[in-house]
Amino acid sequence: MPIPYQKPPAPSDDKRWKIVETRMRRMGDRPGALIEALHAAQEAFGYLDDSALHFVGDTLGVPHSRVYGVATFYSFFTLKPQGEHTCVVCTGTACYINGAKEILVEFDRKLGVKPKETTADGKVSLLTARCIGACSLAPAVIVDGEAKGKVTANELVAQLEAM
């Protein structure tokens, strides 16, 4: 006799877990929903912590090792909390030959952050993307979800410092 499967309770009464639960339920709580569920959790909480990984894995019946494996395989998922503001610098070819490298150098020089790091005061997280597809605006960045094109290193860093 198989033991009747019980869905695990949400890690806390935070309402955002409902969003994650709904997204998984819509896909039948099957293991195939893993990536979608991680997307939902990251959209809701900004990053994936241990409780999120456990909850998603237990609900979908996926071993924790595999959940962790998937969450670390894909560069879009982050296991660390992000700063107040995020700045994604596109490092696609067009941006690269139009000065994305200089932007990253400027970040390191002025704010002391390298890609995937957050400033000490928790204000700005610096991320890079392979290509955001805004090649005609090279070099392009995404500041807090809003794309900006033809940026210069000086102006961008000054703007983020002022935030």
Partner 1 sequence: MSEMPAAARPVRRRAITEETHEGPPRATAYVCEAASCMSAQAHDITLRLGERTARAGLGDVEVKRVGCLGLCAAGPLVEIAETGQLFERVRPDDVEPIVKALKKVKPADTRRSQGPFFEKQVRVATENFGRVDPESLEDYLARGGYEALQRVLSEMTSAEVREEITRSGLRGRGGAGYPTGLKWTTVAKAQGTQKYVICNADEGDPGAFMDRSVLESDPYRILEGMAIAAFAVHATEGYVYCRAEYPLAVARLRTAIRLAQRAGWLGGGIADTSFTFDVQVRLGAGAFVCGEETALIASVEGRRGTPRPRPPYPAVQGLWDCPTLINNVETFASVPAIIRKGPDWYAGIGAGKSRGTKVFALAGRIVNTGLVEVPMGMTLREIIDDIGGGIVDGRPFKAVQTGGPSGGCIPAEHLDTPVTYESLIELGSFMGSGGMIVMDDTSCMVDVAKYFQDFCRDESCGKCVPCRVGTTQMWMLLDKITRGRATLADLAQLERLAGIVQKMSLCGLGQGAPNPIFSTLRYFRDEYLAHVVDKRCPAGVCAIEQPAEVMA
Contact positions vs partner 1 (CB under 8 A) = 26, 31-36, 38-39, 60, 62, 66, 69-70, 73-77, 91-94, 96-98, 129-138, 140, 145-149
Q: Which is nearer to partner 1, 38 or 111 (CB)?
A: 38
Within a 10 A sphere around the Cβ of 142, how many other Cβ atoms? 17
Report in angstroms how near the CB of residue 141 gets to partner 1 at its nearest: 10
Report in angstroms how near the CB of residue 121 gets to partner 1 at its nearest: 27
Closest CA to 21 of 56, 53, 54: 56
Q: Which is nearer to partner 1, 112 or 133 (CB)?
A: 133
Report in angstroms how near the CB of residue 66 gets to partner 1 at its nearest: 8
Within a 10 A sphere around the Cβ of 15, how many other Cβ atoms? 9
Q: Which is nearer to partner 1, 63 or 122 (CB)?
A: 63
Q: Which is nearer to partner 1, 66 or 84 (CB)?
A: 66
Report in angstroms how near the CB of residue 95 gets to partner 1 at its nearest: 8
What is the dihedral sign for C-alpha 21, 26, 31, 36? negative
Q: Which is nearer to partner 1, 81 or 130 (CB)?
A: 130
Report in angstroms how near the CB of residue 87 gets to partner 1 at its nearest: 14
| Whole-number Å distance between alpha carbons of 21 and 65 | 20
Residue count (the chain): 163
Query: Could you give phi then psi for residue 48, rounded to 5 degrees?
Result: -110, 115
Closest CA to 49 of 8, 80, 72, 95: 80
